[in-house]
Chain A
Amino acid sequence: MLYAAVAVRSFRRYSTYTAATLAGIFTNSVFGLIYSYAYIELWRAAPHAGGYTTTDAVTYVWLGQSMIMTVAMWSGGTTDDLNERIRTGDVSIDLYRPVPVLWWYYAGDLGRATYHFLTRGLAPSLIGLVLFHIRGPATPAAAVGFAASVFLAVTVSFAIRFLVATTAFWVLDSSGIRLMSAILSMALSGMVLPLNLVPGVAGTIVNALPWASYVQVPIDVYLGRHHGTDLLAALGFQALWAVVLLGLCGWVLERATAKVVVQGG
């Protein structure tokens, strides 16, 4: 099947950059250490902040580090290729092939995410396990839910990165928009600080935004904070954003194609 082949090729492609992977794991682990000590102090001062125990909080840190590359929070997904191909005009070749561009890049990004999850995701968490005895998934349901949630996290982040990349169809230099998007993802995903710590209305809002899908939701699922229908609701929240954003991607791509094909780029 074409998309499986695309995902496999993409997985293999990223696996050739071993040095980058090792350097990345090192960096994630260093940040994991720093955050862990900071969180431990924080939770000593405010026990059960956000409803997390200290072990939960440290687990949150390491899983957060593991999610960074899995969802390609800053960059590094196949959406970077798309951005570059739009900039150089090579995207017209993508448009000309009898394959829908959106699914092509999505399949590639899933292959990439699988590779990054297995390397840059798993490795820091193992270090966290050895050094800080972080928790395993709360229940079997939480483990299965976590897998589904990570998949949806990648999908939502892909859709947002895809939208950001396609701005290159309309603006000459999209690096500013990409930077802004990276900052938003970092702040609003819960990677720096769990979104549950944000008080009041602001907290409700950030928890409802798509970026919460990146880190906050998968980790809460892992920690077993959602049970039964609540677990389904958490996954449904991610799925809803995934569908809405992918729909938006399709619409934007249609406009972009029209622009290239009708206006000539």
Chain B
Amino acid sequence: MSLIDVRDLARTFVVRRRNGALTRSRSEVRAVHDLTFSIGAGEMVGYIGPNGAGKSTTIKMLTGILVPSSGRLRVAELEPSRQRTELARRIGVVFGQRTTLWWDLPLRDSFELLQKIYRVDAARHRRNLEEYVELLDLGDLLDTPVRQLSLGQRMRGDITAALLHDPEILYLDEPTIGLDVISKGRLREFLRTLNAERGTTLMLTTHDLQDIEALCDRVIVIDHGTAVFDGPLGDLHHRGESRRTLVVDLVDEAPPIAVPGAETRKVEGPRQWLTFPAGASAAPIVAAVAASYDVADLSIQEPDIEDVIRQIYAGG
């Protein structure tokens, strides 16, 4: 039995717009439709898609703060919108753009309030707090009011806040937004540890594909409200028109190279870029180039996951 079970999920928003003094138009936005997936305990799933694809809408439905228009939704065998409070005790949510901490209170006070809200017993709370403060390096910040924290510090505080009640599932909606490279790295490291040691199921949305590459074995790509890909990250490359690039440095300038199985995309002086399907072997192409041209150097570029996803979005 999977932990998160989504079947034919749909959500439409009714948007009323005023066109003039008297006329009003009513239109429907299909934010999510025909969405089906399930996530098992302990998985780390990346949920990606372009702006407005329906990621946040999905997360809101999964946490129960938005009612689906139709379809079936079960999280830990609960129906989120009906059993929102019960579910809240079993899940943690981090919204990169919002904070669950209290602006004017020291971090410590926010954590104490959360202990009372979720009725975490004192010993367990102390143990968790100690651990997360240590792992996320929050020790010196506990007495700082949240409004004085930097974005990265606040995010670490928010993640601790979401985890103090030992949730089975942690949803992260753009957790790395606005963080610098080092903070992102530390955060990813922490999430990996969390998943490995506690078995916490992670579902994260992000526009930073490095988050996905670093964390997720599985990605769900959503576009225009519905899933267009669901599978291991590696399989994304084999999908669509994904191509590898062979960069050839010739000894002398030459007209575009013509070898079977590859296309020459660009020529710049003695350097030429050839592309070929990601699924094909590079060996025959390299051999063919070397046989007919004077080659100074060669290198192969793997398809960029961003390109791959861009192609999926474009094709969808």
Contact = CB atoms under 8 A, between A and B. Distances in A.
Interface in A1-45: 1-2, 5-6, 9, 12-13, 16
B221 to A, nearest CB: 23
Of the candidates A89, A96, A261, the one having the most CB atoms from chain B within 10 angstroms of its own CB is: A96
B130 interface: no
Contact of A260 (B65, B109, B112): B65
A7 B174 CA distance: 32
Nearest to A261: B67
A5 B67 contact: no
B98 interface: yes
Interface stretch (B37-45, B80-88, B205-213): B80-88
A263 interface: yes
A93 B100 contact: yes
B65 A90 contact: no
Given A2-B117, A90-B98, A96 B88 contact: yes
A264 B54 CA distance: 13
B112 A92 contact: no
A96 B64 contact: yes
Given A9-B102, A13-B104, A16-B104, A96 B65 contact: yes
B63 A96 contact: yes
A261 B65 contact: yes
A262 interface: yes
B75 to A, nearest CB: 13
Contacts of A99: 117
Contacts of A98: 85-86, 88-89, 117-118
Contacts of B63: 96
Contacts of B65: 92, 95-96, 260-261
Contact of A6 (B88, B95, B113): B113
Contacts of A6: 113
A170 to B, nearest CB: 13
Main secondary structure, interface of B, reads mixed
Nearest to A4: B116
For chain A, give the interface size range.
20 to 34
Contact of A93 (B14, B95, B118): B95
Interface string B101-126: 01011000100110011100000000
Given A93-B98, A93-B100, A264-B13, A9 B109 contact: yes
Interface in B51-100: 57, 60, 63-67, 81, 84-86, 88-89, 93, 95, 98-100
B104 A96 contact: no
A159 to B, nearest CB: 23
Contacts of A263: 13-14
Contacts of B98: 88-90, 93
B175 to A, nearest CB: 15
The 5 closest A-B pairs by CB, nearest first: A98-B85, A2-B116, A13-B104, A98-B88, A96-B65
Interface of B: 11, 13-14, 57, 60, 63-67, 81, 84-86, 88-89, 93, 95, 98-100, 102, 104-105, 109, 112-113, 116-118, 145
Given A1-B116, A5-B113, 13 more contacts: A2-B117, A5-B116, A6-B113, A13-B102, A90-B98, A90-B99, A93-B95, A95-B65, A97-B88, A98-B117, A260-B66, A261-B67, A262-B67
